Amino acid sequence: MPPTSVMNAPGTRTTCWKAATPAAAHAIRTAPRRPFTQPRSFSLTPRRGTMQASNRLQTAFSQGRQSLGMWQMLPGANVSRLLARSGADWVVVDCEHGNIDGCRRSDGAMHDAVPAIAALGVSPLVRIPDIQSWMVKRALDAGAHGVLVPLLRTVEQAKELVLAAKFPPVGHRGFGSPLSPERFHPMPTFTEYLQQANDALLTMVQIETQEAFDAVDEIAAVDGIDVLFIGPFDLGNNIGHPVFNGVIAPELEAAIAKILAACRKSGKKCGIYSTSGEQARVFADQGFDMISVAADYTALEFVLKQQFSVASGGARPSKGGSY
């Protein structure tokens, strides 16, 4: 049967088939029809571990290995990708102290950073500015693999955080973001995300206030809190032993050791912020599970000063103990 072309609107053409003879047309009309088959159905049973395996930090924890990460304080997806290509398992998008407009008037920079990091197979983590449930929701809805909450003070706050970070029946997180499943590879369905998120996403709190330090054993025992993360600078300030010129006082060292011990006792993971690769190595030797290596802003400043010093014949600057 030769095809015939039928002109529709100007510039468009539809090709159809026309029977060459009346006998052929009759054969087409009377030919047995193929039975209609239902489209393939998809199982609602989750692919076990899909999201957990895609969360690189979660994978490191499950394998019992230490995990190193980077800290993003400057906005921009290119900065996010640069940090993610460093070899890190995770990148913290810092919406507390960083120049990133996350969870304030606008969180566009956070929404740019999270997918850029996740696209390279690295876990995007978001440090929210404050302990507020809507900030937790925005970070997780952007697709963060975990949230880091600063300046925790009480056990009650830790429990409220778990409620904000988990879907019912464990918590009361709202469900509806089409963005969050896209930050995992392979991408889970909506149903799979709902079924797996409570186990796959990490809920992390910073122990850096006197109140949290005093209650560290009780906070570590809260079900649903995965990581206790130490901010040495604020912790030192709040217990009366600040970090001056990069020097950690013996009293602060003892406080850090106490938090690590509380994590070991409760079976939780312990993370810590460091200012350099050398310091990160020291913390790794002490047994921390999650260690930051460098922050973009200070790393850039250090390298620029170092290279300028070399070019001008001056002495190489030392990294020091600042952020």
Look up tokens 């571990």; give the residue: 49
Give the pLDDT score at 84: 98
- pLDDT tens by residue, 284-308: 999 999 999 999 999 999 999 999 9
Give the pLDDT score at 314: 84
Looking at per-residue pLDDT, the higher value among 170 and 5 belongs to 170
Look up tokens 């002490």; give the residue: 286
Give the pLDDT score at 22: 56
Give the pLDDT score at 101: 76
Active site residue 97: yes
Tokens (6 digits) for 284: 């790794």
- Produce one character per residue of 246-277: b if its CB has 16 or more CB atoms within 10 Å, e if not: eebeeebeebbeebbebbeebebbbbbbbbbe
Report how far residue 175's alpha carbon sits from residue 190's, in angstroms, rounded to the nearest whole number.
9
Give the pLDDT score at 151: 96
- pLDDT tens by residue, 112-148: 999 999 999 999 999 999 999 999 999 999 999 999 9
- Calculate ∠ Cα 179-177-143, nearest 5°: 45
Q: Which of 26, 97, 172, 241 is catalytic?
A: 97
| Structural domains in the chain, sorted by start | 55-312 (3.20.20.60)
- pLDDT tens by residue, 12-29: 443 333 444 555 445 445
Pairing label, strands 13-17, 3-7: antiparallel
Please say if the pLDDT value at position 208 is more than 90: yes
Output the pTM of the full model.
0.82
